[in-house]
Amino acid sequence: MAEAERAARVEYDMGVVRGFTIWALIWGAVGMAVGLMAAIQLAWPEANLGPIHFGRIRPIHTNAVIFGFTLGVIFAGSYYAVQRLCRVRMYSDALSKIHLWLWNAIIAAAAASLAAGHTAAKEYAELEWPLDLAVVVMWVIYGVNFFGTIAVRRVRSMYVALWFWMSTILTVAMLYVFNNLEFPVSAFKSYSIYSGVHDANIQWWYGHNAVGFVLTVPILGLMYYFLPKQVGRPIYSHRLSILHFWSLIFVYMWAGPHHLIYSPLPDWTQSLGTAFSIMLLLPSWGGMLNGFLTLRGAWDRVRTDPLLKMFVVGLTFYGMSTFEGPMMAIKTVNSLSHFTNWTIGHVHSGALGWVALTSFATLYYLVPRLWHTEMWSRRLVDAHFWTATLGIVLYVTPMWISGVTQGLMWRAVNPDGSLAYSFIESVAAIRIYDVLRVAGGAVFLSGVLMMIVNVALTIRRGSAAIPREAAPLAPAPAAGGR
């Protein structure tokens, strides 16, 4: 019996999780610093230095924070959790290592090639075809490793978080391949096989679902695993998880055309996009409530636990932006908000409020466990939480105000029906908000720098040497039983 137990012992691979944790933080700091630079360039055009101008900087910012920072956290969290939820080591150590370094190489090459002006010019899909191929290889490696681990699991049932990550892997593969089909002219230049409205249609099918299946679905996976872990009680409702999961992934995929309202895209397509965007409110709030209700009876701990503060404020921003999004998808509202800073405010309330705060909480959960020590400073974690929250408010509020201001100025008419303002007057009117945004971004970035210092000092104090073992199997599988 004792021998069988020993044979059944599994040592988790935490090396790959440590790698993704560190690199996610590095790319996060880089991506947000580049974002700050973009904000400075908008407020002070003299900060555009030759070819290093806003038009090239902005895609570097979005790619670094979405595919460097956020994906890095998703990889770290999902590699950590899948081994525990399946009670096995990763399917292949070699694939884990290749995944980590290929991903890092792609992000570095992406930054360099975008700076050099090699771009396919589709938002969040800017990389040129050789890098697209590398991304596909990297994603297949992640998929094989992740699905392979689940395939050899020693726990019968797959926990909710795994559903979210599995659907992420499948959906992103589909989105990425079809949106990036292009015909090469040279090693650095290609043309989309789609043109005009079809190119727009498929791009926003992709673009909206990059938000859906990189910034939402896998982050919900993190929430479903790490929030119950931190609270120390199971997720509120399994039935709600089921409803949440299937309705969310089904409905999300229809909402893309809300980026093309009043464009030359066929009207029925736009209307479908609007209708499904409004429907999306329900599954989104279902997931938010499942998270909030997990805290039932533990709300007092939100006062003292900085990680729970991050999860709770993160879920709150998730609820706010998934309410705001459907509203902005209504034609009447969209006619005002589209093309303005309101969109930028909406994106950042989701990206900084929901994605980044949940990601920070996940990393703060992981770091002490990966290096077998306490965080160097718990007060600094708390300070990071407050800094981040202040930064978000300072960033998003000016964007909302300037968005509405600009939208109203564009449509304002004199009593005789002529336009009340020239375009440049609307640019001048929002300049103060462009300056305020720089302040918001700087505050938010300073929180990330606090985190990096805190994590670095934690790592120096801790040790990576102690192996993490799977718990011996209980007679009846417990995971998934929540």
Residue of 101, 178, 299, 386 interacting with other proteins (CB under 8 A):
178
Let me know: does 90 contact 96? Beta carbons within 8 Å.
yes
- Site for other proteins contains 377 (CB under 8 A): no
d(CA 1, CA 9): 13
Q: Binder to other proteins among 198, 296, 460, 461 (CB under 8 A)?
A: 198
Rounded CA separation 183/193 (Å): 6
Is 122 a binding residue for other proteins by CB under 8 A? The answer is yes
Q: Which is nearer to other proteins, 273 or 391 (CB)?
A: 273
> What does the block give as tokens for 167?
């659907």
Under rule CB under 8 A, which residues in 341-370 are in contact with other proteins?
341, 343-344
Is residue 105 involved in binding other proteins (CB under 8 A)?
Answer: no
Residue among 354, 233, 229 nearest 288 (CA): 354
Is 171 near other proteins (CB under 8 A)?
A: yes
Number of chain positions touching other proteins (CB under 8 A): 98
The binder of other proteins chosen from 11, 55, 432, 464 (CB under 8 A): 55
How many other C-beta atoms can be found within 10 angstroms of the C-beta atom of residue 401? 17
Q: Which stretch binds other proteins (CB under 8 A): 28-36, 72-80, 180-188, 381-389?
A: 180-188
Position 432 contacts other proteins (CB under 8 A): no
Place of tokens 């790619």: 63
DSSP-assigned beta bridge partners for residue 49: 52
- Rule CB under 8 A: choose which of 9, 189, 296, 379 binds other proteins: 189
Identified binder of other proteins from the candidate list 94, 112, 242, 293, rule CB under 8 A: 242
Restricting to residues 282-341, name those near other proteins by CB under 8 A. 335, 338-341
Residue with Cβ nearer other proteins (123 or 382): 123
The closest alpha carbon to 360, from 438, 445, 440, belongs to 445
The angle formed by the CA atoms of residues 138, 139 and 143, to the nearest 5 degrees, is 120
User: Which residues touch 159 (CB under 8 Å, ≥6 apart)?
Assistant: 85, 224, 225, 479, 480, 482
Helix (H) or strand (E) segment spanning residue 407: helix 378-411
Residue (89 or 259) nearer to other proteins, CB: 259
Distances (CA, A) of 470 to 155, 275, 413, 474: 12, 46, 68, 11
Q: Indicate whether 473 belongs to the interface with other proteins (CB under 8 A).
A: no
Options 145, 203, 349, 362; binder of other proteins; rule CB under 8 A: 203
Of residues 100 and 162, the one with the C-beta less far from other proteins: 162
Burial 227-261 (b: 16+ CB within 10 A, else e): bbebbeeebbbeebbebbbebbbebbbbbbbbbbb
Site residues for other proteins, window 243-262 (CB under 8 A)? 246, 249-254, 256-257, 259-260, 262
Contacts 24+ apart (CB under 8 A), 185-189: 187/130, 188/113, 188/118, 188/128, 189/118, 189/128
In order, the DSSP letters of 81-97 are HHHHHHTS--S-HHHHH
Part in contact with other proteins (CB under 8 A); list of ranges 77-85, 90-98, 197-205, 290-298:
197-205
Q: Select from 91-99, 151-159, 226-234, 379-387 the region that touches other proteins (CB under 8 A).
A: 151-159
Helix (H) or strand (E) holding 411: helix 378-411
Which of 83, 167, 359, 362 touches other proteins (CB under 8 A)? Answer: 167
Residue of 84, 233, 238, 468 that binds other proteins (CB under 8 A): 238
* Cα-based distances in Å from 346 to 32, 275, 384: 17, 19, 22
Give Cα 288 distance to the centre of its chain.
16
Should residue 265 be labelled a site residue for other proteins when binding is judged by CB under 8 A? yes
Q: Report if residue 8 touches other proteins, rule: CB under 8 A.
A: no
CB of 355 within 8 A of CB of 311?
A: no
Using rule CB under 8 A, residue 280 touches other proteins = no
- Minimum distance of other proteins from residue 368's CB (angstroms): 31
Per CB under 8 A, does 36 bind other proteins? no
- Closer to other proteins by CB, 102 or 429: give it: 429
Contact window for other proteins (CB under 8 A) among 7-15, 157-165, 354-362, 380-388: 157-165
Selected from 239, 414, 416, 465, the binder of other proteins by CB under 8 A is 239
